[in-house]
Amino acid sequence: MRKIMRFFKYALLSILSILVLVVLFVYISSRIFIGAKDQKFTDYLKSNREQISDRIAGNLFDSNFYDSQIFLFGEIHGYADNQKVDQYLLEFLNKKAGVKYYVAEMDSSTSNKLNKFLSGNSKDQKLIAEVVTAMKKRIPQQSSKELLDKWNSIYDYNQTLGDSLKIAVLGVDTDFDNNSRKISRDSAMMENFTNLLKRHHLENEKFYGLFGFYHVLQHGPNGGKKPFAERLKNAGFEVKSLVGYTLESEMYLPKNPQFPTPKDQKVSWINADGPMMSVKGIFDFSDLVKPNSMTLFKLDAEDSPYGNSEKLIAIKSRMFGESFNPQNGTSTLDYFQYIVLLKNSKALTPLKQE
């Protein structure tokens, strides 16, 4: 009996030792991949940042930014503050650049419901709840109370605008239930977008939209498919891409069969500084953002070191999505020009059904 107990004791110790070694390996390899802080980058970032409170001030946007026709914000789904940033960007661009068309990662039937809500004489809460619920099929992590609250706020903002500036939504995504398409999702988005422009004669308008992180990149990875933003650029559109990263934040992770989900459907271990997702160069920001903050950084100023770097675009993922390896001969600025860094963002909240 003692021999059996001793065997189990040593077996348990061996398993625990292996687990500790695995954790240490993941932690150390993540730190090595991210790299140490670089003074050249931190000095640049100090002079090219703007903290977001309840609006976008726009101090970091220059004439080159406003000359663009399409503005895209790419999020990693599940973080509540991204919904605030999305609303602030839309309202800012509406005021400063006359942007009134919101390009959405949703199909046309959902966007039609959203437009009906926005143009209604009063807030139809049943209708907007249907929109939020419909998002569960395509983007489960975005279907939330915060998404509903955002569109209620945009409805209020829309009521203050004249007819020539009122916001409307263009749904360019595929129907989730339609599996007959033989082209990629990003290719279908491009096709749907150009068809909408022709159908409604919008070729000379400006556009803004929120999409998942990958779709707003202006280059794909080595050997990867072309994202939506790259297809837009190849078609001759001037595009500006902003992407969101997080530090010390919670992600909403709905129940699903692929991954173990905590009871409260929140996880706090998927942020840009590892260990499950590691973004090269993210430590350059560690002393530049305050707790509970949203901070915008301009990466493409004239003296930017990001024009000759892979920082922020080289990504190692150990759980969600794939790692991102930038193409040879490209730099960060070939993929996006601004980032929004969220610190201590809460997770999105599932919408309670009445």
pLDDT at 271: 95
The CATH number given to whatever domain includes residue 282 is 3.40.50
Q: For the residues 338-353, what does the mean pLDDT come to? A: 93
pLDDT at 354: 46
Mean pLDDT rounded to a whole number for the chain: 91
> 61 and 10 share a domain?
no
Q: Which of 316, 330, 127, 135 is nearest to 217 (CA)?
A: 330
> 2 and 118 share a domain?
no
- Count of structural domains within the chain: 2
Beta strands in the chain (DSSP E): 49-52, 70-75, 101-104, 168-171, 207-212, 239-247, 251-252, 266-267, 277-279, 293-298, 315-317, 338-343
In this prediction the pTM is 0.92
Q: For the ranges 29-43, 67-81, 93-107, 278-292, which has the lowest average pLDDT?
A: 29-43
Q: What torsion do the CA atoms of 312, 275, 75, 288 make, to the nearest 10 degrees?
A: -60
Q: Residue 176: inside a domain, yes or no?
A: yes
Pairwise CA distance, residues 190 & 230, whole Å: 10
Print the domain residue range for 99. 38-343
> 20 and 70 share a domain?
no
Q: What is the pLDDT of residues 61-90, one digit of tens each?
A: 999 999 999 999 999 999 999 999 999 999
pLDDT at 323: 86
* 37 alpha carbon, distance to own chain's centre: 24
Q: For the residues 142-169, what does the mean pLDDT come to? A: 97
Q: Residue 152: inside a domain, yes or no?
A: yes
